[in-house]
Amino acid sequence: MSSPLIQLKSVSKSFADKTILQNISMTVNRGEITTLIGPNGAGKSSLARLILGLITPDFGDITRSDDLVIGYMPQKIHIDPTLPISTHRFLQLANASHEDCYKALEKVGIPDVKHTPLHKLSGGEMQRALLARAILRQPNLLILDEPVQGVDFNGQNELYELIGELRSSLNCGIVMVSHDLHLVMSATDHVICLNHHICCQGKPEQVTQDPAYLDIFGETALYNHRHNHQHSLEGKVLDADGKHQHGEGCQHD
Amino acid sequence: MIDFLLYALLAGIGVAAVAGPLGCFVVWRRMAYFGDTLAHSALLGVAMGVLLNIDLGIAVALICLLMALGLVALEQQEILALDTLLGILSHASLAAGLVVISLLSDVRVDLMSLLFGDLLSVTKADLMVIYIGAVIAILLLATLWKSLINITVEAELAAVEGVNVARVRTALMVITALVIAIAMKIVGVLLITALLIIPAATARRISSTPESMAVIASLLAMLSVVSGLATSWYIDTPAGPSIVISATLLFCLSLSCKQKG
């Protein structure tokens, strides 16, 4: 097996006096989809930005593979309508040729919007355009921050399917950020549940065997998520009695 | 043609050429208020230049640059909203400039020409400075064009793709400070932002790519300079405000065009 794409060892990050991420260790391998889930403000995007190298950790180490090329799909981009830029031109900003841009648009299923101004794309088209730009650099690691944001239910399913296809066609590792538990589980190999620290992680349950279940949900599997602990309103870890319980290696109060 | 009129025309066209593309970035990046604040601080630059006996253009460019870098640092704070902060700095620096200039009793400074421009007094030396400044600014914009567009669309995406966002942003600040220093002579500190944003806003209606918008904005700014100067010549109006009025009329005309892309 080839070396991991990226490896985080006991990484911590604070902003101002607030600890956003504490003692995070994770590994991303080629061809593997890792999903970060957790409530709003749990540090999911910060973790993605650490992996991207946009911010540096206060403590801990991040080891990147020598041949690492990252494709990034940001959470949401705001295009000011005063900037006249076509979707095709937007893709070209990634230093790609006409031909490659066209192919990328075809790959994500929106070949017809290449002349459409970026600010006129629908929610689903915009997410696909962002995905097209992310794959243009022939990445071996894709970081997707809330890739189905602003997309309707059917569109979400299609996007997750597309992401699964991209994983096999590019043979890349994927780190996906999501706050919805249900949809994303079927399209992932490894789940990390994050709330400033790693609450739990592992393979999503294999629930897709029941034919009746498949009839209702198609290829979408409902993930049964069971925490071994609960969180207080501030996000602190509580045990069943409501008392604080420290995870392994936790240093906080 | 009479020399001073020719100089005025050439100076105005030189500034207009660079005001087009820079103005587009001011519009795209929503920096209008930011530009105003820098322009107002230019008056303080004039005062410092007179006090320290250095070239006024250089003094203005330096003060604008310091102000710009200070603003970038202040952007990070969370005490006040950015527009409030800009409002405070903008007017405080304008007031400070006015007060310091009034204290320089042994030097006579023509305040009106600083505030509203004095295009008809442009000398051969001024013309040189304006063209050197404009050429540097245009070359910088052209070199960094793709990166500038990239960080304007989405800075983090650009950073992941290898653009040095901080460096490109700083370069844009330097260019803005430079253009304010050379445009002050043309339209004065109070109207500089108008020369930047009005032609760009007009150009938006009839452009479908960033490049065409930049070029059209330049051409519209030049047209405004020529017609403003003509108005000033024939009916004896102040040149700077006449240029701004011309630009505004062109903008009003453009509203009848169907918006492109």
Higher-confidence residue: A2 or B6? B6
How many residues are present in chain B? 261
| A6-15/A59-64 β-pairing | antiparallel
Give residue for tokens 């040189």.
B128
Domain ranges of chain A: 6-69+139-238
What average pLDDT score do residues A164-181 get? 86
Looking at residue B74, its pLDDT comes to: 79
pLDDT digits (tens, 9 = 90+) for B95-111: 999 898 888 866 677 88
Task: Count CA within 13 A, CB hemisphere, residue A97.
Answer: 4
Looking at the predicted structure, is the pLDDT value of residue A128 above 90? yes
Per-residue pLDDT at A227 exceeds 60: no
A133-149: pLDDT as tens digits:
999 989 999 999 988 88
Q: Name chain A contacts of B159, Cβ cutoff 8 Å.
A: 54
Amino acid at B48: M
Instruction: Output B241 or B1, whichever has higher pLDDT.
Output: B241
Q: Which CATH number fits domain A6-69+139-238: 3.30.230.10, 3.40.50.300, 3.40.190.10, 3.30.420.40?
A: 3.40.50.300
CB contact under 8 A, A83 and B207: no
Could you give the domains of chain B? Answer: 3-189 (1.10.3470.10)
Could you tell me what percent of chain B has a pLDDT over 90?
58
Q: How many inter-chain contacts (A to B, CB under 8 Å) are there?
A: 62
CA–CA separation, A145 vs A136, rounded Å?
Answer: 17
Contacts of A89 in chain B (CB under 8 A): 209-210
Smallest CA–CA distance, residue A80 to chain B, in Å, is: 7
* Amino acid B145: pLDDT: 96
CB of B255 within 8 Å of a chain A CB? The answer is no
Instruction: Give the tens place of pLDDT for each residue, A11-34.
Output: 999 988 888 999 999 999 998 999
Strands A33-37, A173-178: pairing is: parallel
Smallest CA–CA distance, residue B102 to chain A, in Å, is 41
- Tens digit of each residue's pLDDT (9 = 90 or more) over A98-113: 999 999 999 999 999 9
Q: Is B260 on the interface with A (CB under 8 A)?
A: yes
Ramachandran region, residue A15 (left: φ > 0; alpha: ψ -120 to 50; beta: rest): beta
Q: What are phi and psi of A133, to 5 degrees?
A: -65, -35
User: In sequence order, what DSSP letters do the residues of A97-164 get, joined into one string?
Assistant: -HHHHHHHHHHTT-GGGTTSBGGG--HHHHHHHHHHHHHTT--SEEEEESTTTT--HHHHHHHHHHHH
Q: Which of B30, B159, B207 is nearest residue A84 as measured by Cβ atoms?
A: B207
Q: Say which of B28, B30, B153 has its CB closest to residue A93.
A: B153
Q: What is the pLDDT of residues A35-60, one digit of tens each?
A: 888 777 888 889 999 999 999 999 99
Query: Chain B contacts of A16, Cβ < 8 Å?
Result: none
**What is the value of ipTM here, to two decimals?**
0.85
Q: What is the Cα–Cα distance from A72 to A117, expressed in whole angstroms?
A: 21
Inform me whether the pLDDT recorded for B164 exceeds 70: yes
For chain A, give the mean pLDDT. 80
Burial class of residue B61, CB neighbours in 10 A (0-12, 13-18, 19+): buried
Distance from CA of A230 to the nearest CA of B (A): 32
Strands A197-202 and A190-195: antiparallel
In which band, very low, low, confident or very high, does the pLDDT at B2 lie, cut at 50, 70 and 90?
Answer: confident
CB atoms within 10 A of CB A44: 25
Does B213 contact chain A (CB < 8 Å)? yes
pLDDT the model gives residue B50: 86
Residue B213 with chain A: CB contacts under 8 Å: 84
Residues in chain A: 253
Q: Which residues of A68-86 are buried (b: 16+ CB within 10 A; e: fewer)?
A: eebbbbbeebebeeebbbb
pLDDT category at A182 given cuts 50, 70, 90 is low
Q: What is the predicted pLDDT for the residue at B82?
A: 81
Judge whether residue B215 has pLDDT over 60.
Answer: yes
Confidence of residue A154 (pLDDT cuts 50, 70, 90): confident
Q: Does B32 touch chain A (CB under 8 A)?
A: no
As a whole number, the mean pLDDT across chain B is 90
* CB < 8 Å to B28, chain A: 80, 82-83
Question: What is the per-residue pLDDT for A243?
Answer: 46
Interface test with chain A among B157, B168, B258, by most A beta carbons within 10 Å: B157
Count of CB atoms situated within 10 Å of the CB of A29 = 18
pLDDT at A38: 76
**Taking CB atoms and an 8 Å cutoff, what residues of chain B touch A94?**
161
